[in-house]
Amino acid sequence: MGKKRIIAKSEKELVEEREKVEAKVLKEIKIEAPQKRRIKEGRIYISSSYNNTVITLTDSGGNTLYWVSSGSIGFKGAKKATPFAASKVAEAVSTAVKKLGIEKLSVFVKGIGSGRESAIRSLAARGLEIVSIKDVTPMPHNGCRPPKVRRV
């Protein structure tokens, strides 16, 4: 193999490339409120598992307006399931709530992960008006049907 040529970019090219990337990121994050009607009440669903934390923002009818997971923010591997990652996800959702102008929120928590409590705490700390918090974790009441008796 021969020598490798390193192409050096000028300051101007680097600035242009950075502006392109920032514009793309801002375009992805941009949240537009529906122009037809103003949403007053919303629901936040926190799904916390051993591997990830997903928070979904919906209107009162259940239509998804915005969602964020700790993986989509940039956490990888075991860090996705930490309480810190859940609080960062809740901060991202709270900014979306403020941009949409939602006044009252009902919070529904599902799952057994470590991000449950910290997500609720950080939502409350961001100044959102939380009307109710409900745990909707599925609970088995008799389990599944056992297998047939083995005949030898």
Each domain of the chain, given as residue ranges in start order, spans 39-135
pLDDT band with cut points at 50, 70 and 90 for residue 30:
low
Is the pLDDT reported for residue 23 higher than 90? no
Cα dihedral 39→55→95→33 (10° resolution): -30
Does the model's pTM come out above 0.75? no
CB 66 within 8 A of CB 34: no
Residue with tokens 């006044």: 103
Tokens of 98: 């403020």
A 10 A CB-CB count for 127 gives 9
pLDDT band with cut points at 50, 70 and 90 for residue 85:
very high
CATH superfamily entry for domain 39-135: Ribosomal protein S11/S14 (3.30.420.80)
Is the pLDDT reported for residue 1 higher than 80? no
pLDDT band with cut points at 50, 70 and 90 for residue 28:
low
